[in-house]
Amino acid sequence: MKAAVVREGGKAPVYSEFDDPIPSVEEVLVRVTASALTNFTKVRAAGKHFSFRAQPPFIVGIDGVGRLDDGRRRRVYFVFPKAPWGGMAQQTVVPLSQCVEVPYDFKNVDDVTLAAIADPGMSAWVALEMRAKLVPGETVLVNGATGTAGTTAVQIAKHLGAKKVIATGRNRQTLNGLLSVGADEIVVLGDDSNPADAAFREHFERGVDIVLDYLWGSSAEQILAAATVQKSMKPIRFIQVGTASEANITLPGTLLRASTLQIMGSGIGNVPLDGILGVLSKLMQAAPKIGFRIATEVLPMHRIEDAWSVESHTPRVIFTVEQ
């Protein structure tokens, strides 16, 4: 079969032949139709993540959408195929417990959309529901809302019952567009005419319950400093999800002593797999109601080498697979 294969450690995958997978007991064969290229996929393929240590040759891709080869051809979203097989192949093999069935009658939710929303949607849903324990009626600030993950988080926060969603980012035009998909207010980062730190203080004076941070770096420092002005003794849950801006921050101890901040991370290292699968099932069932608006670039899988070398994946790259 054809697949995106890493032949040499540290090298980009190539489009080539690979042995067909053969499922064992409690595994299923999936005929793949679409698979997303994410930074997590690239980090794992490079051997830089603790969750994956396969030796070349292996197929890249942590998830995808396809059809079960079980006679009924059920449509499923699958995650974490068994190495050396991955999601970017004509076929893969996955434990049945790691497949989420998706009904065919979902209007306007095609395979490309499902593949595009799965990773950012799961990440945001897990952070809001399992880590922050969002209560309907609360206020959520999404720091870094103009990227794919942040935009999805805005939509999911509103779906889960947030009364107010505040979106931040550097691109004012993109931020304004988020007002039509769930954001109630925006903060433009790096805007000298309306400094973000002042805007953050104003929002915390009104009350912020949850911060979902995709950036870290200087904007996170501004938000953490602003949290000290909040008068309520209710905990402010700061959930760190990504480091798109910077890997580190300076965090004075006085900020923690002068606020009700609870800082925690959300990721594969602190959420069990069964919890992730439960969230993915909720996400897939909610997709038609939410009506996700997510920018995608659809490419045939033989373009894997071209797309792999691109640093930014906004819009999200989705590989389609021909059987």
- Partners of 211 in the β-ladder: 141, 238
Domain match, 162 and 62 both: no
With beta carbons less than 8 A apart as the criterion, state whether 176 and 311 touch. Answer: no
Q: How many CA atoms lie within 13 A of 93 on its CB side?
A: 14
H helical segments located in 104-249:
111-125, 148-159, 172-178, 196-206, 217-226
The phi and psi torsions of 91 (rounded to 5 degrees) equal: -140, 155
Domain match, 156 and 252 both: yes
Q: Which two tokens stand for residue 77?
A: 């979203």
Q: Does residue 276 fall inside a structural domain?
A: no
- What amino acid is encoded at 102 in this protein? V
Q: Which two tokens stand for residue 134?
A: 């969002």
Q: Does residue 90 fall inside a structural domain?
A: yes
Measured CA to CA, the distance from residue 80 to residue 268 in angstroms comes to 12
Residue 286: in which H helix or E strand, if any?
A: helix 273-290
Domain match, 147 and 187 both: yes
Measured CA to CA, the distance from residue 242 to residue 310 in angstroms comes to 19
Pairing mode, if any, of strands 58-59 and 261-265?
unpaired
Measured CA to CA, the distance from residue 177 to residue 25 in angstroms comes to 48
Q: Does residue 84 fall inside a structural domain?
A: yes
Q: Print the domain residue range for 39.
A: 2-108+294-320
Q: Does residue 275 fall inside a structural domain?
A: no
Domain match, 183 and 87 both: no
H helical segments located in 7-81:
39-45
Measured CA to CA, the distance from residue 147 to residue 312 in angstroms comes to 10
Domain match, 129 and 98 both: no
Domain match, 95 and 129 both: no
Measured CA to CA, the distance from residue 118 to residue 111 in angstroms comes to 11
Identify the pLDDT of residue 37: 93
Whole-prediction pTM: 0.90
Domain match, 37 and 98 both: yes
Domain match, 79 and 157 both: no
Residue whose tokens read 């009700």: 260
Closest CA to 293 of 174, 173, 188, 186: 174
Domain match, 203 and 256 both: yes
- The total number of structural domains that make up the chain: 2
Angstrom distances, CA of residue 205 to CA of 198, 227, 232: 11, 8, 9
* Interacting residues of 265 by C-beta distance below 8 A, sequence separation 6+: 131, 239, 240, 241
For residue 46, the domain's CATH number is 3.90.180.10
Domain match, 134 and 238 both: yes
Q: How many CA atoms lie within 13 A of 222 on its CB side?
A: 20
For the chain, which residues score pLDDT lower than 70? 49-53, 105-108, 193, 312-313
Q: Does residue 283 fall inside a structural domain?
A: no
Domain match, 190 and 104 both: no
Identify the pLDDT of residue 193: 66
Q: Does residue 289 fall inside a structural domain?
A: no
Domain match, 126 and 257 both: yes
